[in-house]
Structure 1
Amino acid sequence: MNTTLNHSDHPYSDLLPDIVMDAVEAQGFYCDHRLYPLNSYENRVYQVGVEDRTPLIAKFYRPGRWQQDQIQAEHDALLQLKEAGVSVAAPIVVNDQTLFHHNGFDYSLTNKLIGDVPEAGNLDHLYQIGELIGAIHKASTSWSLPERPYASNLSRIERASQQLLKDSCFPTSLQTEYVKTIEQLLLASKQTVERSNQNNVRFIHGDCHRSNLILSEGLMTALDFDDCRMGYAVQDIWMHLSDANERQAQLSELIEGYESFCAFDTRELDLIDVLIAERTIVYTAWIAERWSDPAFPKLFPHFTGKAYWEQHLADLNRILDDWGNWR
Structure 2
Amino acid sequence: MTEDNSMTKENPFEALTPDFILDAVESRGLYSDGRAIALNSYENRVLQIGIEDTNPVIAKFYRPNRWTQEQILEEHRFCFELVEQELPVVAPMVTNGESLFKYGDYYCALFERKGGHAPELDNLDNLFTLGRFLGRIHRVGQAKTYQQRPSLTPQTYGHDSIDYIIEHALPAEVKMPYESLARDIMKLVDELWQRAGQQKSIRVHGDCHVGNILWRDDNPHFVDLDDSRMAPAVQDIWMLLSGERDQQQQQLMEIIEGYQEFCDFNVAELQLVECLRTLRMIYHSAWLARRWHDPAFKFAFPYFGSVQYWQEQILDLRVQFAELQEAPVSLPHY
Query: How high is the TM-score relative to the length of structure 1?
Result: 0.94
1:1-327 maps to which residues of 2 (within 5 A)? Answer: 9-168=10-169, 170-245=170-245, 246-323=247-324, 324-325=326-327, 326-327=329-330
> Could you tell me how far 1:208 is from its partner in structure 2?
0.8
* Change in 2 beyond 3 A, CA 1:8/1:177: closer
Any idea what SS the aligned residue of 2:237 has? Answer: helix
Partners of 1:132 and 1:296 lie apart in 2 by 33
Any idea what SS the aligned residue of 2:164 has? Answer: helix
> Could you tell me how far 1:149 is from its partner in structure 2?
3.7
Letter in 2 for 1:64: N
Letter in 1 for 2:287: W
Any idea what SS the aligned residue of 1:271 has? Answer: helix
Partners of 1:176 and 1:262 lie apart in 2 by 45
Any idea what SS the aligned residue of 1:106 has? Answer: strand
Partners of 2:254 and 2:9 lie apart in 1 by 49
Partners of 1:281 and 1:8 lie apart in 2 by 24
Any idea what SS the aligned residue of 1:239 has? Answer: helix
Once structures 1 and 2 are overlaid, which stretch shifts more, 248-257 or 61-70?
Answer: 248-257
1:4 aligns to what? Answer: none
Residue by residue over 1:51-107, the C-alpha shift from the partner in whole angstroms, topping out at 9 and shown as x without a partner, is 111100000000010000000111111011101111100111112200011121110
Letter in 2 for 1:144: T
CA contact (8 A) 1:58 1:110 kept: yes
Residue by residue over 1:99-120, the C-alpha shift from the partner in whole angstroms, topping out at 9 and shown as x without a partner, is 0111211100000001111124
> Which consecutive segments of 4 or more residues in structure 1 shift more than 4 A?
none
2:5 aligns to what? Answer: none
Residue by residue over 1:242-272, the C-alpha shift from the partner in whole angstroms, topping out at 9 and shown as x without a partner, is 2134111111111112112111111100011
Partners of 1:288 and 1:205 lie apart in 2 by 24
> Could you tell me how far 1:193 is from its partner in structure 2?
1.3
> Could you tell me how far 1:289 is from its partner in structure 2?
0.7
Letter in 1 for 2:289: A
Any idea what SS the aligned residue of 1:322 has? Answer: helix
Partners of 2:53 and 2:60 lie apart in 1 by 21
Partners of 2:185 and 2:256 lie apart in 1 by 27
CA contact (8 A) 1:154 1:186 kept: no
Any idea what SS the aligned residue of 2:240 has? Answer: coil
Letter in 1 for 2:197: N
Partners of 2:318 and 2:185 lie apart in 1 by 9
> Could you tell me how far 1:192 is from its partner in structure 2?
0.8
Any idea what SS the aligned residue of 1:243 has? Answer: coil
Task: Give aligned-pair identity as a percent.
Answer: 37
Letter in 1 for 2:214: I
Any idea what SS the aligned residue of 2:233 has? Answer: coil
Any idea what SS the aligned residue of 2:294 has? Answer: coil
Any idea what SS the aligned residue of 1:115 has? Answer: coil
CA contact (8 A) 1:154 1:189 kept: no
Partners of 1:220 and 1:261 lie apart in 2 by 17
Structure 1 gaps, min length 5: 2-6
Once structures 1 and 2 are overlaid, which stretch shifts more, 286-295 or 153-162?
Answer: 153-162
Letter in 1 for 2:218: G
Partners of 1:248 and 1:94 lie apart in 2 by 45
> Could you tell me how far 1:294 is from its partner in structure 2?
0.7
CA contact (8 A) 1:8 1:14 kept: no
CA contact (8 A) 1:132 1:221 kept: no
Partners of 1:14 and 1:285 lie apart in 2 by 26
CA contact (8 A) 1:153 1:278 kept: yes
CA contact (8 A) 2:9 2:293 kept: no
Structure 2 gaps, min length 5: 2-7
Partners of 1:301 and 1:120 lie apart in 2 by 30
Letter in 2 for 1:300: F
Equivalent pairs counted in the alignment come to: 321
Residue by residue over 1:151-184, the C-alpha shift from the partner in whole angstroms, topping out at 9 and shown as x without a partner, is 422342111011111224x222222221221122
2:4 aligns to what? Answer: none
Query: How high is the TM-score relative to the length of structure 2?
Result: 0.92
CA-based RMSD of the aligned residues comes to 1.6
Partners of 1:53 and 1:73 lie apart in 2 by 29
Any idea what SS the aligned residue of 1:297 has? Answer: helix
